[in-house]
């Protein structure tokens, strides 16, 4: 029996909020337009390497990606990715390189999404997510899966073409479900993966399998990881998660059983938490909550009703 599903979108939860970037996909195959966009004086370019970009403090007290005009950008043969335009008509490109350029000044520093995602503006976070996702896919899919020939970059970084058999390959995105499970007492089920540090707890999650709906995946993953049966499943929001190329589909789910039996392979420990239980556990340092950049933290906070507490400072 399939679980019913409903939607709830009053509280959007995403890694990168709408940042005013139009991806302008219709320009990706227009080489003349791309060449003109690249040479335009307002165009801005940044380098992505190994999932990192250079970030720096901004005059308004924030943090931004270090960008340069195209004529100051490092040279690259083919790995130049068009990311879109903003409301002011500025075009943005990312360059994939083997390493980041030298630091521009004392404050510029390399950062990955887990660090930069909470610091950047919605525009810069959106651009970084797009660039990192393309870089991950490009680095890991250099050969044709049909004939084994080395493929070439096309469509401004959004296609790889095979010169051998003519196949076209598109960026891969793996759908994964992530869910906050609650019981009839409105307690939340949180688990700890076997490779996480002691005390780290978060929501359950797993990949959608072939031939499976996302609702079925929620039901299956909760049962496999924690031995809990769930009934109603409610979609909340999605989050791009290019580590290396996932799309997290966030849900809440209502448990119809309560006895926990972890699988011991992915989940080492799982517990039911009331809001008070969780508050005390976090403040005492017994529990480390999920990272603030992740949709897991947003799902837990949505249930908790406000931002999660921080550990209390202990005197020496």
Is the pTM higher than 0.85?
Answer: yes
pLDDT of residue 103: 60
Rounded to an integer, what distance in angstroms lies between the CA atom of residue 39 and that of residue 234? 47
pLDDT of residue 292: 82
Rounded to an integer, what distance in angstroms lies between the CA atom of residue 271 and that of residue 197? 16
Phi, psi of 77 (to 5 degrees): -75, -55
What would the two tokens of residue 128 be? 């970084």
pLDDT of residue 143: 97
pLDDT per residue, tens digit, the chain (316 aa), is: 444 444 444 444 444 456 789 999 999 999 999 999 999 999 999 999 999 999 999 999 999 999 999 999 988 767 999 999 999 999 999 999 999 987 656 779 999 999 998 899 999 999 999 999 999 999 999 999 999 999 999 999 999 999 999 999 999 999 999 999 999 999 999 999 999 999 999 999 999 999 999 999 999 999 999 999 999 999 999 999 998 889 999 999 999 999 999 999 999 999 999 999 999 999 999 999 998 889 999 999 999 999 999 888 643 3
DSSP-based three-state secondary structure for 285: coil
State CA 109 to chain mean position distance.
21
What would the two tokens of residue 145 be? 């899966």
């Amino acid at each position: 029996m399939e679980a019913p599903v409903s939607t709830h979108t009053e509280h959007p939860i995403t890694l990168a909020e709408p940042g005013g970037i139009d991806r302008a996909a219709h320009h990706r195959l227009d080489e003349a337009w791309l060449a003109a966009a690249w040479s335009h004086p307002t165009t801005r370019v940044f380098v992505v390497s190994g999932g990192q970009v250079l970030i720096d403090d901004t005059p308004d007290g924030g943090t931004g990606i270090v960008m340069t005009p195209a004529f100051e950008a490092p040279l690259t043969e083919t790995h130049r990715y068009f990311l879109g335009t903003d409301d002011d008509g500025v075009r943005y490109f990312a360059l994939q390189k083997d390493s980041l350029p030298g630091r521009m000044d004392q404050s510029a520093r390399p950062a990955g999404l887990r660090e930069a995602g909470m610091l950047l503006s919605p525009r810069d976070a959106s651009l970084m997510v797009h660039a990192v996702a393309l870089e991950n896919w490009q680095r890991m899919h250099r050969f044709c899966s049909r004939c084994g020939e080395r493929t070439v970059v096309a469509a401004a970084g959004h296609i790889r073409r095979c010169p051998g058999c003519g196949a076209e390959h598109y960026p891969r995105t793996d759908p994964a479900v992530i869910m906050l499970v609650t019981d009839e007492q409105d307690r939340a089920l949180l688990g700890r993966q076997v490779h996480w540090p002691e005390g780290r707890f978060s929501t359950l999650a797993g990949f959608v399998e072939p031939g499976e709906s996302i609702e079925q995946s929620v039901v299956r993953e909760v049962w496999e990881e924690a031995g809990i049966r769930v009934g109603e499943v409610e979609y909340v929001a999605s989050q791009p998660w290019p580590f290396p190329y996932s799309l997290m589909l966030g849900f809440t789910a209502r448990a119809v059983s309560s006895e926990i039996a972890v699988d011991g392979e992915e989940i080492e420990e799982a517990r039911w938490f009331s809001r008070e239980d969780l508050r005390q556990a976090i403040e005492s340092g017994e529990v480390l909550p999920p990272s603030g950049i992740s949709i897991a933290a947003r799902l837990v906070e949505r249930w908790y009703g406000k931002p999660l507490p921080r550990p209390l400072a202990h005197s020496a």
